[in-house]
Amino acid sequence: MRSQSTNCTKTKQALLTLILLAVAGLFFSSIVINNAIAEAVPADTIQYTGKGTVTFNHGEHSKKMACTNCHKGETPTKITIENKKQGHKACLTCHKAEKKKGNKAAPTSCKLCHNIFFQTD
């Protein structure tokens, strides 16, 4: 009778160990994935998180428009667009105009900007 109890305890311990290892594996893999994403983003690229990640290529945009379109002050450090509606309007107005000119690289739909996972293509 005692050996059945010992076997049951060992089985429970083994199962608990496997569960803990699986949870630890998921935790550490998420850290590795997040670090890989951070390393994949070029220095002139900014990522905003919220409802999916919006990847914004600051270098490309600064070549095409004045800094004051988004920033105010002599040393711009923060986006001055105060709320989501203004931000969407600013981006979409320009992107729709670019699309009319034939520029397919300027996304105009939610899902093309708000990626759940960072894509390098």
Closest CA to 117 of 39, 28, 54: 54
| Ranges 14-28, 52-66, 87-101: which has the least confidence | 52-66
Q: What pLDDT shows up at residue 37?
A: 53
State mean pLDDT over 98-113: 85
pTM for the whole structure:
0.46
Q: Residue 118 in 3-state DSSP?
A: coil
CATH superfamily of 42-121: Cytochrome C3 (3.90.10.10)
Amino acid (1-letter code) at residue 115: N
Q: Tokens 């450090």 — which residue? A: 77
Q: State yes or no: pLDDT of 83 exceeds 70.
A: no
Where exactly are the structural domains of the chain?
Answer: 1-40, 42-121
> Hunting for tokens 């690289």 — which residue is that?
105
Does 62 have pLDDT greater than 70?
A: yes
Maximum Cα interatomic distance, the chain, rounded to a whole number of Å = 82
